[in-house]
Amino acid sequence: MMKTYLKIGIIVAALLIQLTLINLFTIQGLKPDLILLVVIVFSLLQGAEEGTIFGFASGLLQDIFSTGLLGVNALVKTVIGFICGILKVRIFAEHILFIIPVITFIVSIGQSILIFLVLHAFGVEYSLVWSLKQVALPEALYNSLLSPFIFLAVKRILK
């Protein structure tokens, strides 16, 4: 039970940092997605079930505090939590610090594509190519660079 509260605390802290302090770390207007990083880390450490649950909860919190369509982040982060949780059993734990930036890069791009598809389903139109080139690729690189540090921090907190 205590670990659950600790995980909720990590998600809330990531959200608070995302909403406040992360503006200090923007590079040409781009920000890392700490919520995504926490979902990836939880999923790789805990598996698909917890990845799905915490993906949904953190995505919903992100939706509540954003101006976008309610539920988009919840849906996308749920899918990401599930997929990354499945990867947990296929990754050698001793190589995770080398693999997590690659996983984070791919998942960040995948998140942008999933968001595009969900918004497209609701009739919101924008250019996927422009979004991938101008936002998703640089943000994926930023997320990838931060991912080993977030992984180590969350792993240490949960132990």
What pTM was estimated for this model as a whole?
Answer: 0.93
pLDDT at 159: 84
Tokens of 97: 């610090």
SS3 1: coil
CA quadruple 18, 20, 22, 23: dihedral positive or negative?
A: positive
Tokens of 157: 């907190």
Tokens of 71: 């539920």
Q: What is the CB neighbour count within 10 angstroms for residue 150?
A: 21
Number of compact structural domains in the chain:
1
Domain ranges, residue 8: 2-23+31-158
Buried b (16+ CB within 10 A) or exposed e, 47-82: bbebbbbbbbbbbbbbbeeeeeeeebbbbbbbbbbb
pLDDT in tens, the chain (159 residues): 778 899 999 999 999 999 998 888 788 888 899 999 999 999 999 999 999 999 999 999 999 999 888 999 999 999 999 999 999 888 877 778 889 999 999 999 999 999 999 999 998 888 888 888 888 999 999 999 999 999 999 999 988
pLDDT at 54: 96
Q: What is the CB neighbour count within 10 angstroms for residue 85?
A: 25
CB 61 within 8 A of CB 17: no
pLDDT at 57: 96
The CA-to-CA distance between both ends of the chain, in Å, stands at 14
- C-alpha distances out from residue 60 to 69, 75, 126, Å: 11, 8, 23
Which residue do the tokens 């849906």 mark? 75
Query: Which class for 35: exposed (0-12), middle (13-18), buried (19 or more C-beta within 10 A)?
Result: buried
Q: What CATH number should be reported for the domain holding residue 47?
A: 1.10.1760
